[in-house]
Amino acid sequence: MEYRGLGRTGPQVSVIGLGTEYLNHQSRKAVTSVVREAVEHGVNYLDMVFAFAEYRDNLAAALQGIRDKVVIAGHICTAETSGHYRMSRDVAENETLFHDLLARLHTDYVDGVFVQMVNSEEGYAEVTKPGGVLELAHRLRREGKARWVGMSGHRPAAALQAIRSGLVDVWMYPINLAWDLTPGRTEVQQACDEVGVGLVAMKPFGGGRLFLAKAPSVTPVQALHYVLSQPGVCTAVPGIKNLKQLQAALHYMDASSAEKDYTPILAAFQQDLEGNCVYCNHCMPCSVGIDIGRTLERLDRVLARETAAKERLRERLGRHCPPRIRAIPLEGKSAPASDCTECGECMERCPFGVDVISKMRQATELCAQ
């Protein structure tokens, strides 16, 4: 494993970190196997984003006896309602949930405390106001319950304001092949480098979108090499769901130069993914209980699968063939897409400009619920 300094904060972190978002809803055995395997291969940076009790308890079990081997990035501003993620700027609620994280992990501190989802200058003003959540994060650091303060977001204006303020030690930002030309991203990277703010690359696989059949063929190794080749990046945190995905990511460490070469496919990704869901669920909660991210992920898989099938038929028959839709059922706690009231609240919260309403209409038509 290769390690890099996390900005001015000092700790050396593995260039491949572990995003644990997709370990939510997994069994304790599965979570433990992924975390243990990652740590055994030198991964020491773990991003813990959710406030769900089972999620935290499973990670605690996985980290039993190896807490001193990992750098834990914990998040505030993340809460839950009826098993669904929601964002919170309430200081009292966030302090309670932060101490719940420490208690469940059986630790006195996390290495970093992230103020999550700061996507606009108005949002930055809200979290930095006197008595706001950033003040809480700094107090937790002074109390020894965190070693450094971070912030995450998807938009350059707020990112640059935060990075240049001197109030954050680490910035977490989406970087991947598909967003190579995203306006402002280069400026964010340069600003982090100039002032010594550690840069954590989230969504290096675009929420898995890079690997859909309709996208250009790309491997986890190529995707990681692109991200880790970008100026200022200290670590990339792919979301990992199982051992197979972890092993595919860890293959980066012994991959050949030819396997890492992403230049042949870069041109195909010279577009911003604005308007496309990356299943982050920052749009939640849904007032009627729809798991929006998981619903749209299944919609995209239906469309990708049927597009691929249509192309195969076209090649074989030499003519256009209409897609044949085969629905993918949505498992778990979620209301059906047909329950969408088109209130638009999710679209206001979405950092990527996704037209959730139209996609829910499409999911109602194409996906079994």
Whether 278 shows a pLDDT value over 50: the answer reads yes
Do 20 and 142 sit in the same domain of this protein?
yes
Specify whether the CB–CB gap between 85 and 285 falls below 8 A: yes
85/140 same-domain check? yes
**Strand-strand pairing, 78-81 and 84-87:** antiparallel
334 and 254 in a common domain? no
CATH number at residue 110: 3.20.20.100
Residue 357: inside a domain, yes or no?
A: yes
Region 192-215: mean pLDDT is: 84
Residue 224's pLDDT band (cuts 50, 70, 90): very high
Q: Are residues 210 and 339 in the same domain?
A: no
Q: Which of the four pLDDT bands, split at 50, 70 and 90, describes residue 178?
A: confident
Q: Are residues 315 and 262 in the same domain?
A: no
pTM over 0.85: no
30 and 156 co-located in one domain: yes
- Predicted local confidence at residue 233, as pLDDT: 96
288 secondary structure, DSSP code: T
- Please check whether residues 57 and 199 belong to one and the same domain: yes
Whether the CB-CB separation of 12 and 43 falls below 8 Å is answered with no
Residue range of the domain that includes 245: 3-267
| Lowest mean per-residue pLDDT among 36-50, 98-112, 133-147, 213-227 | 213-227
- Tell me whether residue 278 is in a domain: no
Q: Does residue 294 have a pLDDT over 90? A: no
One domain, residues 248 and 309? no
Domain boundary among 228, 251, 267: 267
Q: What percent of the chain has pLDDT over 70?
A: 86
Q: Tens digit of pLDDT for each residue in 36-54?
A: 999 999 999 999 999 999 9
> Per the domain annotation, does 281 fall within a domain?
no
C-alpha–C-alpha distance, residues 8 and 282, integer Å: 29
Percent of the chain past pLDDT 90, that is, above it, reads 59
Burial category of 288 from C-beta neighbours within 10 Å (exposed 0-12, middle 13-18, buried 19 and up) = exposed
Residue finishing a domain among 232, 267, 302: 267
For residues 207 and 318, membership in a common domain is answered with no
Residue 231 in this model has a pLDDT that exceeds 80: yes
Whether 276 is in a domain gets the answer no
Query: Does residue 302 share a domain with residue 156?
Result: no
Q: Assess if residue 186 is contained within a domain.
A: yes
- Please state the rounded mean pLDDT for residues 288-306: 78
Q: Does 262 lie in the same domain as 302?
A: no
Give me the pLDDT at residue 92, please. 97
Residue 124 lies in a domain: yes
What is the average pLDDT across 287-291? 87
Minimum mean pLDDT range among 11-25, 200-214, 230-244, 264-278: 264-278
The per-residue pLDDT for 272 is 43
Is the predicted pLDDT of residue 234 greater than 80, yes or no?
A: yes
Highest mean pLDDT among 215-224, 252-261, 342-351: 252-261
Residue 331 predicted with pLDDT over 50: no
The whole-angstrom separation of Cα 303 and Cα 66 is 42
pLDDT higher than 90, residue 124: yes
Residue 79 has pLDDT above 80, yes or no: yes
Confidence of residue 127 (pLDDT cuts 50, 70, 90): very high
Same domain, 183 and 304: no
Residue 285 counted as domain residue: no
The answer on pLDDT for 251 being more than 70 is yes
Average pLDDT over residues 284-291: 86
Q: How far apart are CA 298 and CA 301, in angstroms?
A: 5
Instruction: Answer with the one of 250, 267, 284 that is the final residue of a domain.
Output: 267
306 vs 339, more confident = 339
Confidence (pLDDT) at 217: 82
94 assigned to some structural domain? yes
DSSP string, 58-126: HHHHHTTTTGGG-EEEEEESEEEETTEEEE---HHHHHHHHHHHHHHHT-S-EEEEEEP---SHHHHHH
Most confident of 39-48, 215-224, 266-275, 322-331: 39-48
How many domains does the chain contain in total?
2
Q: pLDDT tens, 55-75?
A: 999 999 999 999 999 999 999
Q: Has residue 273 got a pLDDT over 60?
A: no
